[in-house]
Structure 1
Amino acid sequence: MINQNLDSLKKDYGVKKIGVFGSFVNGKPGKNSDIDILVEFLKPVSFFEFIEVEDFLSKILKRKVDLATKNALKPAIKKDILKEVVYV
């Protein structure tokens, strides 16, 4: 579903790179699991623009999305996430 909306994400929201990590990548999502998504933007975005992208993704994926950027990842887990992420 992200693939089908990649052009819109790039054009309308300035997304440079986007990938999935967490339970949906390692095959262990629960019934109520959110989808962990790592995003990189072409230029800095405001908090409201960030939330707009998160809402757009939640809507198209029909599930809660937890959106993150590389800079926002906690140092203790950053390395593992960057190894695990599957870019679209």
Structure 2
Amino acid sequence: MKIKDIRQGVTEIAPLFAVKRIDLFGSYASASDQSESDIDLLVEFDTPAVSLLTLSKLQSDLEARLKKDVDLIHAPLPPDALIQIGKVIPLYESSGRTDIN
């Protein structure tokens, strides 16, 4: 799967949720993906607190659209986070506009 295909799927699904930003990291971002690789996404929501139901639904919708396993990491990460993100590729950022007609 190409990054442009991941971006297209993310761009279709993200507006259905209160998503502020989604970045790609992991094997796809570092161009070391294999056919069995999952898609690692760093997701920042409009609000800091997000329910597990929302996270689960977003993950499920992305997996259905992309036809790949998806791992979501809730952003922003604290400075002492145990996970190392490495290279990040921006995929989606909401416009923040509420006046769109």
Give the TM-score taking structure 1 as reference length.
Answer: 0.79
Deviation at 1:61, TM superposition (A): 1.0
Show the 5 A alignment for 1:42-61: 42-43=46-47, 44-61=49-66
What residue in structure 2 maps to residue 27 of structure 1?
31
What residue in structure 2 maps to residue 15 of structure 1?
19
* Aligned positions, number: 84
RMSD after superposition = 2.2
The answer to which structure has the higher helix fraction is 1
The higher radius of gyration belongs to: 2
* Percent identity between the two aligned chains: 32
Return 5+ residue gaps in structure 1 as ranges.
Answer: none
User: What code does the residue aligned with 2:25 have?
Assistant: F
Give the TM-score taking structure 2 as reference length.
Answer: 0.70
User: What code does the residue aligned with 1:65 have?
Assistant: V
Q: 1:39 is matched with which residue: 39, 43, 51?
A: 43
What residue in structure 1 maps to residue 89 of structure 2?
86
Could you say if the C-alpha distance between residues 72 and 47 of structure 1 is closer, same or farther in structure 2, counting changes exceeding 3 Å? farther
Could you say if the C-alpha distance between residues 22 and 58 of structure 1 is closer, same or farther in structure 2, counting changes exceeding 3 Å? same
Return 5+ residue gaps in structure 2 as ranges.
Answer: 92-101
What is the alpha-carbon distance in structure 2 between the residues aligned to residue 8 and residue 63 of structure 1?
14
